[in-house]
Amino acid sequence: MSRLTAQLLDGKAVSQAIRSEIAHDVAALKRSAGVAPSLAAVLVGDDPASQVYVRNKIIACAEVGMRSVEVRLPPTATQDQLMARLRRLNEDPDVDGILVQLPLPPTLDRTAVILALDPAKDVDGLHPLNAGRLLMRLEAPVPCTPAGIVELLERYRLPIAGQHAVIVGRSEIVGRPLGILLLQRDATVTMCHSKTRELPVITRQADLLVAAIGRPAFIRAEHIREGATVIDVGVNRLGDARAAAALFGEDSPRVHQVRERGYTLVGDVHPREAAERAAHLTPVPGGIGPLTIACLLRNTLRAAQARRQAAVR
């Protein structure tokens, strides 16, 4: 067996490049419209990971010169309270983009929330009007993680047309829209999910393998064709030092991280086994995560451009 070591695709560096382009356009919009784009990030409950994600989005806004507001609702918030808050954000002329951090507490109806968003402010691209526009190849905000994945492949000049892309995970926010984007770029797309039989047989056919299932280190060597490009969308918290040692090696700084911070992050792909079989691999952290944020900033900028320019006309 060969011991190929995958090239790591540096999502952080690509995200930095996208962010400086955005900062430039934000400054231009400020000059022409007199105001910076603004994002409202809605967080319901106190899930620690979601808190970190929202905080990172707020910091990223400031770094490109955008305004943002974090809207916090307690875990006990009712559907009516959340809907009332969203209505106010929809109507607030000063808010360009609205993001409701997912997952919501299980008592709340996520579909009703998505349907309640003003499609013009839906920077996640989840509202059916935007999802439908994407299907029809019309201008629309594209869900941030799939947009980030395509951007990463394009900036590294990795081929998409004619490639067999296998996507594991059929979520509305990642797997399904990514399938559409790759199909539009002439890939042959296979969607796999929890009921797929003989998963490794299918994933081993992939030139481009995307894992978006939320199960730590689920994709192993047996799933990966030698020389494939592997995109790891998973962000899972691993709190067991022994499990971290098995994944990263006994002497890995990740093991110390678990002991010191209480957890380390691991993707949906086994990091060492994938590095030995893939030609290109996204790391966790520092792969797709930063690109998701960069694409959120871009969707917010575009929403602001459309709204502010429409107001000037």
Q: Work out whether 102 is an interface residue with ligand GUN (CB under 6 A).
A: yes
Q: Work out whether 108 is an interface residue with ligand GUN (CB under 6 A).
A: no
- For the question of residue 101 being annotated catalytic, the response is yes
Q: How many residues bind ligand GUN (CB under 6 A)?
A: 9
Residue 99's beta-bridge partner residues?
A: 41
Q: How far is the CB of 145 from ligand GUN (least distance, A)?
A: 5
Q: Work out whether 68 is an interface residue with ligand GUN (CB under 6 A).
A: no
Largest CA distance in the chain: 64
Cβ closer to ligand GUN: 29 or 43?
43
* Sign of the dihedral through C-alpha 111, 112, 113, 115: positive
Q: For residue 250, what is the DSSP state?
A: T
Q: Which two tokens stand for residue 96?
A: 């360009």
Neighbours of 134 (CB within 10 A): 21
Question: In the range 157-216, which residues lie near ligand GUN by CB under 6 A?
Answer: 173
Cβ closer to ligand GUN: 173 or 213?
173
Cβ closer to ligand GUN: 144 or 275?
144
Q: Which two tokens stand for residue 225?
A: 């064709």
Q: Work out whether 144 is an interface residue with ligand GUN (CB under 6 A).
A: yes
Angular region, 76: left φ>0, alpha ψ -120 to 50, beta rest: alpha
Q: Work out whether 9 is an interface residue with ligand GUN (CB under 6 A).
A: no
- For the question of residue 124 being annotated catalytic, the response is yes
Residue 64, helix vs strand vs coil = coil
Q: Can you tell me the distance from the alpha carbon of 145 to that of 86, in angstroms, rounded to the nearest whole number?
A: 23
- For the question of residue 7 being annotated catalytic, the response is no
Q: Work out whether 101 is an interface residue with ligand GUN (CB under 6 A).
A: yes
Q: Can you tell me the distance from the alpha carbon of 254 to that of 266, in angstroms, rounded to the nearest whole number?
A: 10
Catalytic residue (choose from 25, 96, 122, 124)? 124
Q: Work out whether 44 is an interface residue with ligand GUN (CB under 6 A).
A: no
Catalytic residues, which ones? 57, 101, 124
Contacts to ligand GUN by CB under 6 A: 99-102, 124, 144-145, 173, 292
